[in-house]
Structure formats: structure tokens, C-alpha cells
Amino acid sequence: MKIRDILNKDTATISFEVFPPKKSTDFGNVEAAALGIAALQPAYMSVTYGAGGSTKGHTIALAGEIQKQHNVPTVAHLTCVCADRSSIGAALTEMQAAGIENILALRGDIPKDFDGEVFTDFTHASDLVRFIKESGDFCVGGACYPEVHPDSANKNADIQGLKAKVDAGCEYLTTQMFFDNNIFFNFMYRVREAGITVPIIPGIMPITRGVQVKNAVKLSGCNVPERFKNIVDRFGDNPEAMKQAGIAYATDQIIDLLANGVKHIHVYSMNKPDVAAGIQRNLSEILKA
């Protein structure tokens, strides 16, 4: 099933992201976690793609297994830095063969230590979106950044880059994580004002370990509200308390989004079935309302 058809329905949904292992020896553990999350029957799942295509085989295998074993439509992420038309074409053929019909098209982060050409056939995610749409019957999504992508000169340039991606055929957008919903609501205002009408799905990261906050901020540059800092300061050293508080904070964010008219939520599960289950349980009646 195509993600656009899920997003077009008039029901609220929750979906989960998982990431593949870097090493083949870890595949079994990661697969077990991902299948545990798929057993919760979310609306769909997504599987990330390692920097520069390093996890291609694992991404495709994991996405294929989730669909086969739990019948949950799954999005495979795909990045185009350090790739050319021929390697991307080969990845698309493999995805088609594995029954994957949904792709999140990304530029990817520019690697610091790569020897070859970083940009050959693709400079922006919009180039990849166009190529995928020309290559087969895929539903294509993309990424967006409520707090502005670090490569963008300013908020306007960021929205123009996003518009180029949507004009190229991107059918929906998933946001970078954020911990303050007002940032998302302001972003939505700018996006809609620019004439971007595709569904925008907020990406929510439940922080269940104190150390995760530092990593999240380092990776995404997102703002951490005082209220959330206090939770980490108070409970960060107590794993069970922090897990409960992190699930509660993410639940609270999601309820506020749903109450303000958002219909679809993507949760960065960090491959943790108990965290995914905790959030889903907290929302069981809310999603039906």
C-alpha cells in the first residue's frame, strides 16, 4: 500500500521508524526489535539508510521482512550523496524486487572523509525525488526541518528548497524531531503560506535516556525547552524513571499535536518495542477519537 493512500484516509495514525544495523552480525537482534514494533500494527513503518548507502542491504531486507511478516506497509529511506544514477537505479531495482513501493528520498549528510565525488548526478533530494518518480511506481516522501536545515542560508531559503522538492514530485514530508510544538506550528504556517500543500508528518523522538538528549541536539541542532531539560536533570540518571518520563513527554507532545488538528504522527522508536508500545498504549483511545 502506498503511504499517500494511508495519509489520505480520514483517520489519525501513528507510525514508527527503525534503523538497520551497521554490522551483519547484529541483524538478528535488530530484526527482532523491528518485528516487535511491527507486531503493534502501526499504520506504517520506515527504515533508515546508513550514511552514504552503508546499510543498503540491511535497509531493504528489514523493510521487506516487516511487510512480509506483519503486513505493515514500510518505507525504505534512500540517500543520494556519493551515489550516481547507476547505483541509485540498482537500489531501486532491489527495492522493487523486495516489494517496497514507498521511499523517503534524502540527500544525506555530506561525509567528512569521503575520497570520491560527493555530488555527481544528484545535488539535492529534489534531484533524487525526480529520478525515483521517473524510475517506477513509487510513492516518494522527503524530509523537512521545522528549525531550518543547517545548510540553508535562512528560513526563506529553507522553504524554497522544500518547495523545489515538492514540485519535483515529493508526496509528503516528515519532520526532523522537535521538542517544542510551537516551533512546528510556526513552521506549518510558513510552509502553507509558501503554497506547499502536501501532508507534513511531525517526527517525535521519545527521549528515554539522559545521554540521548546530547546526541539528539548534536545531530539535529534542535532546541530543548527548559521543561524538558528539567526532566532530564531530575530523572536522567535513573533509567526506569527516565524511560517513563520520556514516554510521557512524547505522549504529551503528540496529544497536543492531535488536539491542534494534526492527523498523522511518526515516532522515532530507536528500535525499542517497549517504548513504541508505551506510546501506542497511551494513545489507544485518543487515536480513535
Contacts with ligand FAD, residue ranges (CB under 6 A): 48-49, 51, 77, 79, 104, 106-109, 124-126, 142-143, 149, 151-152, 157-158, 161, 164-165, 174, 176, 203
> Which of 17, 31, 101, 147 is the catalytic position?
17
Report the distance separating Cα 77 and Cα 46, nearest Å.
7
Do residues 46 and 14 make contact, with C-beta atoms less than 8 angstroms apart? no
CB of 166 to ligand FAD, least distance (A): 10
Q: Are 52 and 114 in contact (CB under 8 A)?
A: yes
> With contact defined as beta carbons under 8 Å apart, do 78 and 104 qualify?
yes
- Min dist CB 29 to ligand FAD, Å, is 19
Between 107 and 133, name the residue whose CB sits nearer to ligand FAD.
107
For residues 57 and 90, is the Cβ–Cβ distance under 8 A?
A: no
CB closer to ligand FAD, 79 vs 208? 79
Concatenate the DSSP letters of all residues of 211-267 into one string. Answer: HHHHHHHHHH-----HHHHHHHHHHTT-HHHHHHHHHHHHHHHHHHHHHTT--EEEE
Going from the C-alpha of 41 to that of each of 13, 106, 280, the distances in angstroms are 11, 26, 10
Residue nearer to ligand FAD on the CB measure, 228 or 268 = 268
Question: At 165, which amino acid appears?
Answer: K
Q: Which of 4, 61, 11, 42 is nearest to 204 (CA)?
A: 42
Please give the C-alpha separations between residue 42 and each of 9, 18, 31, in angstroms, as whole numbers: 14, 12, 16
Is 193 considered catalytic here?
Answer: no
Distance CA 42, CA 3 (A): 12
Please identify the residue of the shown chain whose CB is closest to the bound ligand FAD: 161
- Report the nearest approach of ligand FAD to the CB of residue 59 (Å): 8
Specify the residue for cell string 496529544: 255
CB of 26 or CB of 167, closer to ligand FAD: 167
Instruction: Return the number of the residue (98 or 242) whose C-beta is nearest ligand FAD.
Output: 98
**Residue 87 amino acid letter:** S
Alpha helices (H) in 98-238, listed in sequence order: 125-135, 155-167, 181-193, 210-220, 226-235
Shortest separation between residue 21's beta carbon and ligand FAD, angstroms: 14
CB of 76 vs ligand FAD, minimal distance in Å: 9
**At which residue does the C-alpha cell 506510546 appear?**
279
CB of 235 to ligand FAD, least distance (A): 27
Residue closer to ligand FAD, measured from CB, 15 or 243:
15
Catalytic residues: 17
